[in-house]
Structure 1
Amino acid sequence: MPRFAANLSMMYGEHEFLDRFGAAAADGFTGVEFLFPYAWPAAEIAARLRANGLTQALFNMPPGDFDAGERGIAALPGREAEFEQGVRRAGAYALATGCTRLHAMAGIAAPGADRSAMRATYVANLRRAARMLAPDGITVLIEPINHRDIPGYFLSTQADAHAIREEVGEPNLKVQMDFYHCQIVEGDLLRRYEKHAAGVGHIQVAGVPERHEPDLGEVNYAYLFEKLDALGYAGWIGCEYRPRAGTSAGLGWFARWKDFQR
């Protein structure tokens, strides 16, 4: 049955960040993910995970200057040394928290940017990161993101993501398939998943178009969850959505799956 990870960067905003672990566990989640852990000591996050019986499913490598609008640096020429430092920092947090999935954000292509140079940088950085993290059993993820949420993001389609994955050629590089982003950019969600299933390492969901709970909008998630189960998907499904109101009050969609989380 699908295993769901609460995204603590978007969900449980009613609580301070470190208190969100307990809130998610109390609601029946057995896994969590978030954007970035670096504002908190890795040991403190690990303690919250242990205390609440939670698995850390995913987090992102350092994204550059997030406050200044950067959304990753993996595809930015000239930032290779900074990217490698970020891989090492993320890897240390992953080992401390038992996390086996790290997302390397590509970055934004500035107007007129040389996309060929960006792609070559991206491929080289991803290959290096995958090789650095492989001895610790960590998988690197890349995620296509729609241009409405992040204008100019370098990677936006499943086909491009899987072509890059194949070019990198490392077995521990996979694609993070966010059905919210995919629906906005391409649609045909189930068939796209079926086509690329072997290369998908993590799934995320949110209602489309408002990015609220996956029980309202143009995507029939109940159908997709059943199909993923039937197709043998064994990974986590990250709940990367903004609750319409209180997080716990909006978990009606989760009730049918709660008993299958352990």
Structure 2
Amino acid sequence: MPYTVNCSILLTELPLLERPAAARAAGFDAVEFWWPFPAAVPTDAEVTAFECAITDAGVRLTGLNFAAGDMPAGDRGLVSWPARSAEFRDNLAVVTGIGGALGCTGFNALYGNRVDESTPEVQDALALENLALAADAVAPIGGTVLLEPVSGAPRYPLLTADDVLAVIAQVTTASGYDNVKLLADFYHLTVNGDDVAAVIAEHAAEFGHIQIADAPGRGEPGTGALPLAHWIEQSRTLGYTGPVGLEYKTTAVDPFAWLAPENDSKDTP
């Protein structure tokens, strides 16, 4: 399938390490994860268990987030967070090690919320440094650092594709690294009021990754009003060649029922 299952938001009725096998049983050969450990630097045993869960399931890991803090509590990344910058930098070697072991090359760096103890200018300058360090860390394994707009987080400053692309341009200009790319999450872009069709028309060939959920609701394709099939088709026509990440919430007994042939339509990818 041209899809990769985000096992941090899907199949959550199962323990995390059982989800890759469940994705495989559902017919997928690729998975992605948010940071799957409670700490930025997990134990060797934790890393080994995670890697074995992927390899034993017979799936590929196509995406992995850098440590992003306590996501359920509202954290959205460490890249621009001065008090936790060292934690992000310590995480780089772990991420690169997992990526090298599993052949993963896509790494999502959540930018981070604005914090009261620092100015936006200081946070943005730090983010450029940390994104360059991340790009340098993953370059030897052919890695790409992904940066995305996020919705539903009032203090997260990157809301549109242009917001992200401006940061990427600054990283490239300052450091010379060209392996920081836009993660085009069609749900987040829509909810934040971006013109997704225009973003695709102008930048599809530059996308580092695509993720999808329907809107409103962030459910599976077909539960909302987004023309996801058309947007994916256009992205591919204009040069995007990677997988499409399934990053939606669902209460369905079968979270992938929308993929059944009888459910195929022009608006269901």
Q: Tell me the TM-score range normalised by the shorter chain.
A: 0.7 to 0.9
Q: Which residue does 1:75 correspond to in 2? A: 80
Q: Are 1:47 and 2:18 matched, yes or no? A: no
Q: Partner of 1:260 in structure 2?
A: none
Letter in 2 for 1:89: V
Q: Aligned partners of 1:68, 1:185: CA distance in 2, in Å?
A: 21
Deviates more, 1:248-257 or 1:36-45: 248-257
1:12 aligns with 2:11: yes
- Supply the distance in 1 between the matched residues of 2:262 and 2:85 (Cα, whole angstroms): 45
Aligned 8 A contact 2:207 2:240 in 1: no
Alpha carbons of structure 1 residues 250 and 13: separation in structure 2 relative to 1, 3 Å: farther
| 8 Å Cα contact 2:112-2:156 kept in structure 1 | yes
TM-aligned CA distance change 1:254 to 1:7, over 3 Å:
farther
Q: 1:173 aligns with which of 152, 165, 180?
A: 180
Q: TM-score, normalised by structure 1?
A: 0.87
Map 1:183-198 to 2 at 5 A. 183-198=190-205
State the alpha-carbon separation in 1 of the partners of residues 262 and 30 from structure 2.
16
Q: Tell me how far 1:8 sits from its aligned partner.
A: 0.7
Report the equivalent of 1:136. Answer: 141
Corresponding residue pairs, total: 254
Cα shift at 1:9 = 1.2
Offset, 1:41:
2.4
SS in 1 for 2:252: coil
What CA deviation, in whole Å up to 9, does each residue of 1:153-181 have, x standing for no partner? 12211101011111111111111110000
SS in 1 for 2:82: coil
Amino acid at match of 1:202: H
Say which of 226, 229, 232 aligns to 1:225: 232
Runs (5+) with no aligned partner, structure 2: 39-44, 265-269
Once the two structures are superposed, what CA deviation does each residue of 1:162-209 show, in whole Å capped at 9, x if it has no partner? 111111111111111100000011242122122122431011000111
Which piece of structure 1 moves more, 245-254 or 99-108? Answer: 245-254
Long gaps (5+) in structure 1: 258-262
- 2:22 alignment partner in structure 1: 23
Counterpart residue number, 2:219: 212
Residue 12 of structure 1 and its aligned partner are, at CA, apart by: 1.3
The answer to whether residue 194 in structure 2 is matched with residue 182 in structure 1 is no
In structure 2, what is the equivalent of residue 202 of structure 1?
209
CA contact (8 A) 1:42 1:96 kept: no
* SS across alignment from 1:32: strand
CA distance in 1, matches of 2:137, 2:245: 25
Deviates more, 1:111-120 or 1:164-173: 111-120
Contact 2:74 2:153 in 1 (8 A): no
TM-aligned CA distance change 1:254 to 1:96, over 3 Å: farther
Q: Helix, strand or coil: the match of 1:56?
A: strand
TM-score (norm 2): 0.85
C-alpha deviation, 1:136, in angstroms: 2.0
2:10 match: secondary structure: coil
Identity %: 33
Secondary structure at 1:145's aligned position in 2? coil
Asked if 1:114 corresponds to 2:119, the answer is yes
Higher relative contact order (CA 8 A, sep 6+): 1
Instruction: Classify 1:254/1:203 alpha carbon distance in 2 versus 1 (closer, same or farther; 3 Å).
Output: farther
One-letter code aligned to 2:243: W
Q: Is the contact made by 2:30 and 2:60 (CA closer than 8 Å) also made in structure 1? A: yes
